[in-house]
Amino acid sequence: MGLKQFLHRTILNGLILALAIAPNLSALGQAKRERNVKPNPAQKPAQKPPTTSPAKPTSPPVALPKPTPAAEEPDEVLRIESKLVAVPVSVTDTKGEPIRGLKPEDFQLEEEGRQQQLVALGDPGQTPVELSLVFDVSGSVYERFRFQQEAAARFLKQVMKPKDAVSVFAIGLYAKMAIGRTNSFDTALAGLMGITPTKEGTAFFDTVGDAATYIGKTAEPGTRHVIVVISDGEDNNSDRFLLRDVSHALQRNDCLFYSINPSGPSIWLNKVSVKGQQGMSSLAQQTGGAAFLPERFEDLDAVFRQIAAELQAQYLLGYYSTDDRADGGFRKIAVNVPKRPDLRVRARQGYYAPKV
């Protein structure tokens, strides 16, 4: 065999050998690639970039402005506070002079015959007052209106403190709010003096009911709710409230009801007038207020001073009822000072429990 033929054969055999082993090399490479790919999924849990701690503060699901359990805390607080029953208490001697210096342990309060544990909700007379002045501008008090207005202005100046609030309502043919809730004495006085009398009918019940509801909606928490009405109590035009409805509105909104009847002793000559005064006396008794019937019209200032003195010496007691039923029922309460039977104690006769 010549050299040329030998080289040709050697090259041919090499090509045949390469073609024979090529598929195996391809399969081996593929297997190696598969082995290199398989470990990657197992490595992912070690990385976990979305759950690393630096990413949490900027993640949208934990944004604080969104509704979260923290946003529900005020509702929880309100549910707890709603169980507290506030009871303004006025204590006077036999001459009607306010008695100061009593402590919560001097009082005894029973709810439906069960004694309750009392606490003081502020110093006597220092708890802010949400006051509503309700003026009768109807024909029945037309001639005496200006004097009543001026006396009420003096009362407002005497009783109103910086943290107190006042609203003014007018009893006429329809209920009318003359000035909404304000902490400004000047604004309240302007609203009071801006009322003008009429010779129209009287929506007494509607106006008092609206005043009580308004205080309940707008008053600050922890305040005393007081309504002072200057009227003869006669009603001939209410279409939304009756006497019993007014009583419920006052009690549901924790209002003390004071009334001043400028008609004097002449009311006893008229059955309608007597009924009006009796209705106001009933509202005052139920809420812990007072109903005044001055013998002379000139005594109006003295009555206003008596109300002011009482408010400035009034105790505000509170307790958490042992009856935790939220059924909306009425709970009767009674307050006294056991060691001082000579004192006269006035307080609300009950309250309506919350209803869920």
Domains and CATH numbers, the chain: 80-125+315-356 (2.60.40), 126-312 (3.40.50.410)
Whether pLDDT at 229 is above 60: yes
Kindly list the distances between the CA atom of residue 5 and the CA atoms of 2, 8, 16, 320, in Å, as whole numbers in the listed order: 5, 5, 17, 118
Residue 341 has pLDDT above 70, yes or no: yes
**What is the Cα–Cα distance from 89 to 86, expressed in whole angstroms?**
10
In three-state secondary structure terms, 230 is: strand
Candidate from 18-27, 116-125, 142-151, 245-254 with smallest mean pLDDT: 18-27
What pLDDT sits at residue 126? 86
The tokens for 15 are 């090509």
Structure tokens at 245: 């409805």
Most confident of 4-13, 26-35, 43-52: 4-13
Q: What is the pLDDT of residues 301-334, one digit of tens each?
A: 999 999 999 999 999 999 999 998 989 899 999 9
Q: What token pair was written down for 348?
A: 């609300």
Please tell me the predicted confidence (pLDDT) of residue 10: 52
pTM: 0.75
pLDDT at 218 over 90: yes
Between 27 and 259, where is the model more confident?
A: 259
Mean pLDDT of the chain: 81
When comparing pLDDT for 245 and 61, which is higher? 245
Q: What is the mean pLDDT of residues 118-129?
A: 86
H-only helix segments in the chain: 3-37, 39-47, 73-81, 145-159, 185-193, 204-218, 243-252, 271-287, 300-312
Q: Tell me the three-class secondary structure of 253-316, residue by residue.
A: CCEEEEEECCCHHHHHHCHHHHHHHHHHHHHHHHHCCEEECCCCHHHHHHHHHHHHHHHHCCEE
Question: What's residue 291's pLDDT?
Answer: 96
User: What number is the average pLDDT over the span 54-82?
Assistant: 40
Terminal-residue alpha carbon distance, the chain: 115
Q: Would you say 335 and 108 are in contact if contact means Cβ atoms under 8 Å apart? A: yes
| Residue range 260-309, pLDDT digits in tens | 998 888 888 889 999 999 999 999 999 999 999 998 878 889 999 999 99
Burial class (CB in 10 A: 0-12, 13-18, 19+), 147: middle
Sheet holding 84-92, edge to edge: 119-120, 315-320, 84-92, 344-347
How many Å apart are CA 46 and CA 310, to the nearest integer? 75
